[in-house]
Structure formats: structure tokens, C-alpha cells
Structure 1
Amino acid sequence: MGGHARRLPFPGSEYVLTHSDVWSLQRLPRQIVVVGGAATGCQLASCFAAFGAHVRVLEVAPRILTVEDEAVSHGVARAFQRHGITVITNIGGVQRIEQQEGALRLFYLFEGEVRQLTTEAVVMAVGWTGNVEALNLAAANVQSERGYIVVDDFLQTSAPHIFAAGDITGRMMLVQSAMMEGALAAGNAILGSKRASGHGIVPHGGFTDPEYGSVGLTEERARATHDCAVVVVPYAVLDRALVDGHREGFCKLIASKETHRILGAHILGEQALEILQLVATCMAADMAVEQLGEMELAYPTFTAIVAIAARRLSRELGIIPLAPQGLIPGR
């Protein structure tokens, strides 16, 4: 494995679990505090809550899932609230953990005050660092920075004959990216292919309840860098969502007004990541949003929401004209 869960140094940190330790738990704790509201922390919180534990999530940022589109972040937070998961954001950090009478007391800073939570278990999900400690990189003249091996775009290290890929480089901490980098690094090292690792279009997400998936730019980033149009289609318009009882969620599509190319997609709901793969493929193929809207996707499926969103976005862009009011039947 190219990396491991980061541990923070503070008094009582020896009582902390990481997601790797969760596999060895002999029983389900009734109360759990998850420190860290990024992808791993939110997935752990969702899993523990599904098993019946009382879960609280602590996060230093103003919202959980800060790298995701705000709509996804707020949607997951609302779902957590409905599932009984307490989310506490804007904390000033964990101060210490004490063990008292078989329980753990976690002390944290909030608005300048020290507050505490009593729990059976504390799980840290505060980052992922490379497994460089035991490699003796200096002996091979391989440079590292902040716990990761430094590589160029061709995944070559400071030692010309050594290449590195995956989590240990700290570039893109995703399984699918590590697999792609491994193939590229092998080709560059053995065949001299000189293929660059770009990570341009990488669908990703989390298996929370409901799950979420994202690819491309968030709405905030897209509006800051492009003249764009945005549509959001709720799951409630899907017959499949109604039949299966999964009406919670949405599909957000973002497209350039100039080129009609999709800049980003963000989906929250049942099978979100499976649906997202279609959008990512269309982006990689450089399809215009109107081409996606013309696809006759199978019915009834969750994926059909992508074509619905694309058609609405095409109307927003003026590609599909709206009929004048006087020509609409019944008006």
C-alpha cells in the first residue's frame, strides 16, 4: 500500500483509531466520534450510523466535503442530520483525549472555548500520507517532500532510473488514478514511452447514504473561470427513483455558454457514481451538451437523469428553442 492514515500528535492520541483499525473491531461501539469530514470521514460516519451507532463528526472547515460542490456538501449534511448524525463544523482542533471509567472524553476547541464529548470510540480521518519512512530514499537519491515522493509529469523521481506511482506521490489519492499511474510509470520506465500523467477528467465520490459523485469543476470554480450555465434536476422527476423509493438527490450539470462543453457534473443520490461515469465519458469524448441530451437512454433508469439535465441545459443555452407562449396548446 502506498500510503497510510495520518495521525495527529496530541495528548491521548494513543486512544484514537483510524479507518484501518476499524476492520479489527470486535464489536460495534454505541457512540463514535469521527474527526474529519472529508470523504473518508463521511463514509465512516455513514457506515457506523447504518449499523446503529450514535455518530458525531468534527470538522475544522465551515462545511464537510469541502472539495466537493457546495450542493453536494450541503446535501450530504442534511442527509446526515436525518439519519441522526451530528455534524460540528468550524472547530479549532482536538485538544486532548482522556480515558475515564471505560469511556473516552474528547476535548476540542470551538469559538475559543474548550468543549468535550463523551464517547466509546474516536476515529481519525484527517488525511493520508505516503509510506516513505522505511524506504531509505536518500540511499537511492530519491527526493521526498512532506511525506511523499517527488515525481515529474512522467512519474520519474529525482533518480532517473526510478519511477513512482499512486498514493506515495501524493498527486491523486484515488485507486483508479493509482492504477493508471502504475501502468504509465511502467511504460515510461521500461519502454521509454514518455507518456504524461495528467488526471484531467477523474470521476470520484463517496459511498455515503446517499452516495455522491463529482467530475470536473464545481459551480463556484466554473463561474469564476467561465461564462457558464447550470441546471439542477431533482431525483423526484425520475420514475425509477419513485419506484425504488430513492427520491432523495439531484443531478447538477455545468456547461460553457461559449463551447457547450460540459465543465462539471455533481450527483447526489442512489447510484450516483454509476451515473457519473456516463458524464465523465462524454467529457473525455469532448461531446457537446446537446449531443448528450439527444441520447435515448434506457427507461426506467437512474442514469436517464443525465439526459434530462442535458436537455434542460440545452434550453438554458438557447440550443433548444422554447415555443412562443401563444403556440403552446391550451394557452
Structure 2
Amino acid sequence: MAFDVDLFVIGGGSGGVRAARMAAQTGARVALAEQSRMGGTCVIRGCVPKKLMVFASQFSEVHETALRYGWTFGEGAFDWPAFRAHLHAELDRLEGVYRKLLDGSGVRVHDARAVLEDAHTVRLSTGEAVTAAHILIATGGRPVRPDIPCAGMGMVSDDVFLMEELPRSVLIVGGGYIACEMACILNGLGVEVTQIYRGAQILRGFDEEARGLVAESIRARGIDLRTGTDIKMMGAPEDDFDLPAGEQAPRSRPEGAGGPVRVKTTMGEDRVFDAVLFATGREPNTAGLGLEALGLDLGRRGYVPVDGYSQTPVPSVYALGDATERPALTPVAIRDAMAFVRTVFEGVPTPVDHEMVPSAIFTQPEYGAVGLTEEEARAREPIEVYATTFRPMRTAFAGRPDRVLMKLIVSQATRKVLGCHIVAPEAGEMIQLAAVAVRMGATKEDFDRTVAVHPTMAEEIVTLRTPARRG
């Protein structure tokens, strides 16, 4: 059978665009459909605008710190509308870059929704049908609201970048990295932030010692972080919470529009916030794609099942990135895309490699991690833990109480560094380089033989000599 294209990619995020471009460079005929903006979550609604907001939020501490270093200047103020306009101009520019790269690679772009009609046919919302030898699902994920009455009154992370003005107060619901990052960002921009999480400690799944220090730092910055609590009821400020939910007046406020919200928590607090932000999880954008009709049994929450080569049980259909149950990180999606092209279009079977994936949480201070947590490592084998906490020179000189953590987890048997955890300013930059050594199988003695760069925070990673504990 003759197909219209060799590859049809559904989704114009980082993974989909990389796969389309690389496949086209092999000479394949490639088409891509994106129903929203090119660049996907990372460029338009996630990593990039979030990091720019991180940068903006950090300037709030400059004045106080600068005074201790001898500088004198007037108090500043944050102008959200000015920042927002500049932010969206930058996102428009980046979207244009993505489109230019696709056009330059010879990829045909469809600004339309695409669904699978059969194993080799994609039907576009324009009515056009395109046949393809291979179809790649790269639709990413989306934030979800909890299933509670009036949840539509709250924002999700996508809505934060669209706010017309900053709220004076916000309740952030959640304890994952998005919730913690947004708490620090909004706090740094001058918003009164309350964060609640139903679990015992934030950042579930990360190293216990590191997440404890992050929680301590969040509270020290004036964020009202409360664990072991959740929303019991929410509604408009004038709502009578004594009435049954079914008797409350209907709400006409658009979903995610923000605005004053009354919240009652499981701990009994009853308060009105200018906004509520739900950071309570994400799910794949796979609903309504026609995958079930092909016989694909979607996994938990709608994840597409794939093997080590990103192939689904339908041989012509592949999936990558957040549409699958793999680490929901942009570099993972890009790595998946490169392995997919090598396998399918270059004839070199290349399994995806998700070992030792480093990650960074852009709280203040940041948290960078690679490899095993102390708890994971101890469950596997006897280990040694080398760790230190201290006040970094820059903020200690300014009289601030900030503390950082440098931590290595080492196998007693092989002496290999099994995990590295850093809580410090610029931890994301540090962990990227540490990840190279850990990924290569460096031993503790390799770290010991490395000469320190002084004076830096990172030098502590190579000067730790005595185990803090064994187990």
C-alpha cells in the first residue's frame, strides 16, 4: 500500500517536533498535527515560562541582600503586566522558532486536531485524511483538577501564565514539584501564599533529608505550608457551607478564571483567598484519539502502553513522552524521540534509556537529584551516606539563615556513587554535571581524587570524607 507520508506525528511539543525533524532529515516524508500552540507544554505552558518566572521572583531578595554588601538604592516594585507582556512576546518568538525549524526540515504542519481512524490513517479536524506508514503519539499531558464541587473555580498551572493581574493571596493545593515551585515563585513576586498538602511531607518520592530541607526553606520564606490537610469544601465567598452541595447556587465563572474563592479545609479553617491553584497531578492527553478502537488497552489514567522501543501493541503506532508512563520530563521525551528515529528510520534498534535521569526542582533554593534516594539505596544494599549542611557564603555574609545540603549515597560493596542530592541555589546547574559522573559509574574515591574549586558551594561534593551514617 502506498502511504501519503512515512511518518505522521500527533503533537507539536518537544518530543514530537524532535522526532519529526530528525525523521525528515533521513529523507522520510513527515507530517505533524498540533491543535494548540507549537512547542507544547514545556515551551508554552511549562518549563520555559516557569523558569522565567523563577528568575523574576528571585529579584525580590536583591534589595535586602545588596544592603549588606554596601549597596544603597530605592525600593523596587514588581510590575506583573509588564512582565507578562514580555513573557508572552518571548513565548511567541519561541513558537516561531519551532515552526521555522519544522518548515526548514520539510515537515508539513497541520494546525488541527488529529485522531486515528485506523492503524495507518489519521483524520484531521479539517476533514482531511492522511495515511502514514508510521504514526507517533506525542500528545503530552495536562494538569487535572480534583473531583470536588466547584473545582472549576480554581486555576491549574496552565492558567498561571495567563493571569491578568497577580492575586494578593493564593491557596496552592498539592505537594509535588509544581506546587512547591509555584509557591516559591508567587511568594517571591509578593503574593501571600498558603500551601496545603494532604500527605505528611512534600515532594513524595524524593530523598527524605532533601525534601525536609526544602520544606524548612519554604516555611522560612514566609510561605504558610501545611501538611496533613486538604480542601473539604470550596465555593464563592457568599456561599453557605452549611447547605448541601446540591443546593448551592450554580456557578457561571469560567473554568480557571480565578477570582475570590472561599475554602474550608479538613483542619477546619474557613477562609476566602483571591485565587486557588490546583497542582494535584497531570494525566496524558490521550482521550478521544481513537486508540481504544485500535485495540490498545490504555493504562492507568490513559497512558499509552509501549515497549522499550516506544512501539505500542499496534505495530505501526508508537508513542513517547508524557503520553506514556515514563518520567514526565522534556529531556526524556527528546531522548525517546531520538531513539525512535534511530530505530525506525535509521535501521539501528535503539532502546530508550531512562537510567540515572537527573532532575531539578526550581524551588528557592533549588533541589537537584540524580540516582537513588537514601531510602531506595538502603532497601537494595548496604550503603554509606556522606552529607553536609551549611550556610552558603553569599547569604551568610548578608545575615540570612539559608542552608544548603550536599549529599552522596555510596555502595559499600562497589564504592560507586548511587545517588547525589543537592539543595542549594543553582542546584540544577550543579546536578547536571554531577549526573555525568554518577551515570559513568564514578566511585566515591573518584570524587575524592577530584581537586575542589574554592570557594564554591559545589566543592563540598568532593571534600566529604567521613560518612554521616551507614546502613
TM-score (norm 2): 0.62
Q: Give 3-state SS (helix, strand or coil) of 1:230's partner.
A: strand
Q: CA deviation at 1:97?
A: 1.3
The one-character-per-residue Cα deviations of 1:65-88 (angstroms, maximum 9, x if unpaired) are 111111111111111111111111
Residue of structure 1 equivalent to 2:169: 31
For residue 455 of structure 2, the aligned residue among 270, 283, 300 is 300
Q: Give 3-state SS (helix, strand or coil) of 1:213's partner.
A: strand
For the structure 1 residues 78 and 239, does the alpha-carbon distance in structure 2 shift closer, same or farther, using more than 3 Å as the test? closer
d(CA) in 2 for partners of 1:121 and 1:9?
A: 18
Contact 1:241 1:302 in 2 (8 A): no
Residues 8-19 of structure 1 aligned to structure 2 (within 5 Å): 8-19=146-157
Q: Kindly indicate whether residue 262 of structure 2 is the aligned counterpart of residue 105 of structure 1.
A: yes
Paired letter, 1:53: V
Residue of structure 1 equivalent to 2:308: 153
For the structure 1 residues 184 and 245, does the alpha-carbon distance in structure 2 shift closer, same or farther, using more than 3 Å as the test? farther
Q: CA deviation at 1:118?
A: 2.0
Residue of structure 2 equivalent to 1:60: 198
Q: CA deviation at 1:208?
A: 0.6
The one-character-per-residue Cα deviations of 1:133-162 (angstroms, maximum 9, x if unpaired) are 242213444432222111112211121122
Q: Give 3-state SS (helix, strand or coil) of 2:182's partner.
A: helix
Q: Give 3-state SS (helix, strand or coil) of 1:67's partner.
A: coil
Q: Give 3-state SS (helix, strand or coil) of 2:409's partner.
A: strand
Q: CA deviation at 1:229?
A: 0.6
Q: Give 3-state SS (helix, strand or coil) of 1:24's partner.
A: coil
d(CA) in 1 for partners of 2:415 and 2:227?
A: 37
d(CA) in 1 for partners of 2:406 and 2:377?
A: 16
d(CA) in 1 for partners of 2:177 and 2:442?
A: 29
Residue of structure 2 equivalent to 1:94: 231
d(CA) in 1 for partners of 2:393 and 2:192?
A: 34
The one-character-per-residue Cα deviations of 1:69-128 (angstroms, maximum 9, x if unpaired) are 11111111111111111111122x433311125731112324xxx543321100011111
For the structure 1 residues 152 and 88, does the alpha-carbon distance in structure 2 shift closer, same or farther, using more than 3 Å as the test? same
Contact 1:31 1:55 in 2 (8 A): yes
Paired letter, 1:298: V
TM-score (norm 1): 0.87
Q: CA deviation at 1:281?
A: 0.9
Moved more, 95-104 or 180-189: 95-104
For residue 77 of structure 1, the aligned residue among 215, 224, 230 is 215
Paired letter, 1:151: V
Paired letter, 1:144: L
Contact 1:188 1:194 in 2 (8 A): yes
Residues 167-206 of structure 1 aligned to structure 2 (within 5 Å): 167-206=322-361
Q: CA deviation at 1:245?
A: 7.8
Residues 214-293 of structure 1 aligned to structure 2 (within 5 Å): 214-236=369-391, 248-293=403-448
Whose relative contact order is higher, 1 or 2, with alpha carbons under 8 Å and at least 6 apart?
2
Give aligned-pair identity as a percent: 29
Q: CA deviation at 1:192?
A: 4.1
d(CA) in 2 for partners of 1:316 and 1:69?
A: 15
Contact 2:237 2:272 in 1 (8 A): no
Contact 1:31 1:53 in 2 (8 A): yes
For the structure 1 residues 95 and 23, does the alpha-carbon distance in structure 2 shift closer, same or farther, using more than 3 Å as the test? same
Q: Give 3-state SS (helix, strand or coil) of 1:4's partner.
A: strand
Residue of structure 2 equivalent to 1:320: none
Q: Kindly indicate whether residue 305 of structure 2 is the aligned counterpart of residue 143 of structure 1.
A: no
d(CA) in 2 for partners of 1:116 and 1:266?
A: 38
Contact 2:343 2:349 in 1 (8 A): yes
Contact 1:3 1:131 in 2 (8 A): yes
Q: CA deviation at 1:14?
A: 1.4
The one-character-per-residue Cα deviations of 1:174-223 (angstroms, maximum 9, x if unpaired) are 11111111111222232343322231101112111111111111112222
For the structure 1 residues 239 and 47, does the alpha-carbon distance in structure 2 shift closer, same or farther, using more than 3 Å as the test? closer
Q: CA deviation at 1:37?
A: 0.9
Q: CA deviation at 1:263?
A: 1.1
Residue of structure 2 equivalent to 1:22: 160
Moved more, 26-35 or 216-225: 216-225
Paired letter, 1:214: A
Q: Give 3-state SS (helix, strand or coil) of 2:236's partner.
A: strand
Q: Give 3-state SS (helix, strand or coil) of 1:196's partner.
A: coil
Contact 1:143 1:157 in 2 (8 A): no
Q: CA deviation at 1:241?
A: 6.8
Residue of structure 2 equivalent to 1:48: 186
Moved more, 183-192 or 12-21: 183-192
d(CA) in 2 for partners of 1:81 and 1:207?
A: 16
d(CA) in 2 for partners of 1:117 and 1:189?
A: 56
Kindly report the root-mean-square deviation, in angstroms, between the aligned alpha carbons of the 2 structures.
2.2
Report which of the two structures shows the higher radius of gyration computed on alpha carbons: 2
What number of residue pairs does the alignment pair up? Answer: 310
Residue of structure 2 equivalent to 1:119: 273
**Structure 2: 5+ residue stretches without partners:** 1-39, 41-139, 239-258
Moved more, 225-234 or 43-52: 225-234
Paired letter, 1:103: P
d(CA) in 2 for partners of 1:100 and 1:179?
A: 45
